[in-house]
């Protein structure tokens, strides 16, 4: 009888260990998959960051060549007496939020994109030496026209970033 109990125990133990071995194998596989996915995501983030940093490093010589002597206080052509600066202005209405009609007042709230473009010869370059076609600047670093919207929504931003384009001038979005 002791031998029979012992055999049952051994069979039960083998069954239990086989079950736990399978369980540990599944856990190992899941951990391996999660680690692989984690490493893959880190590599993707690294490659994306590398793509963004590399062109910014290439812009440094161009910025060093364009920036000396530039003063954002003066409009393009003001120092050279070249005449007025032509600013192309466009307002694209994306959505009309609501229209309020009153007895003496009417109000329209809308979401819109403002785009201004002009040519600043002080910040022009040719694309011969460098393969850079665009530079991005915050609005406080460059001259901006004195065109303002009188009213805006609380969440709206009037001026955010500018794009300098090789041979085409400056675009403010």
pLDDT digits (tens, 9 = 90+) for 90-118: 878 777 666 666 656 666 666 777 788 88
Look at residue 171 in the predicted model and tell me its pLDDT: 62
Alpha-carbon span 60 to 64, nearest angstrom: 6
Nearest to 164 by CA among 129, 121, 128, 130: 121
User: Which of 3-17, 28-42, 50-64, 75-89 has the highest average model confidence (pLDDT)?
Assistant: 28-42
Give residue 122's pLDDT band: very low, low, confident or very high (50, 70, 90): confident
User: Which of 22-26, 116-120, 147-151, 155-159 has the highest average model confidence (pLDDT)?
Assistant: 116-120
Gyration radius (Cα) of the chain, Å: 33
Mean pLDDT (the chain) is 72
Residue 80, both tokens:
């050279």
The model's pTM:
0.51
Contact status, residue 160 vs residue 136, Cβ threshold 8 Å: no
Whole-angstrom CA distances from 103 to 100, 106, 107 are 10, 8, 11
Which run of H or of E encompasses 55? helix 2-66
């Amino acid at each position: 009888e002791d031998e029979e109990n012992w055999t049952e125990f051994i069979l039960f133990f083998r069954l239990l260990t086989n079950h736990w071995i399978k369980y540990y194998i599944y856990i190992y596989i899941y951990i391996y998959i999660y680690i692989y996915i984690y490493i893959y995501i880190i590599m993707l983030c690294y490659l994306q960051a590398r793509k963004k940093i590399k062109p910014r490093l290439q812009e440094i010589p161009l910025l060093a060549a364009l920036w000396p002597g530039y003063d954002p206080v003066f409009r393009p052509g003001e120092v050279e007496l070249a005449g007025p600066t032509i600013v192309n202005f466009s307002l694209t209405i994306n959505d009309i939020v609501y229209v309020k009609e009153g007895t003496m007042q009417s109000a329209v709230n809308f979401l819109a994109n403002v785009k201004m473009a002009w040519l600043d010869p002080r910040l022009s370059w040719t694309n011969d030496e460098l393969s850079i076609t665009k530079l991005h600047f915050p609005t406080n670093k460059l001259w901006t026209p004195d065109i303002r919207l009188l009213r805006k929504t609380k969440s709206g931003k009037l001026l955010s970033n500018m794009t300098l384009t090789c041979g085409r001038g400056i675009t403010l979005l």
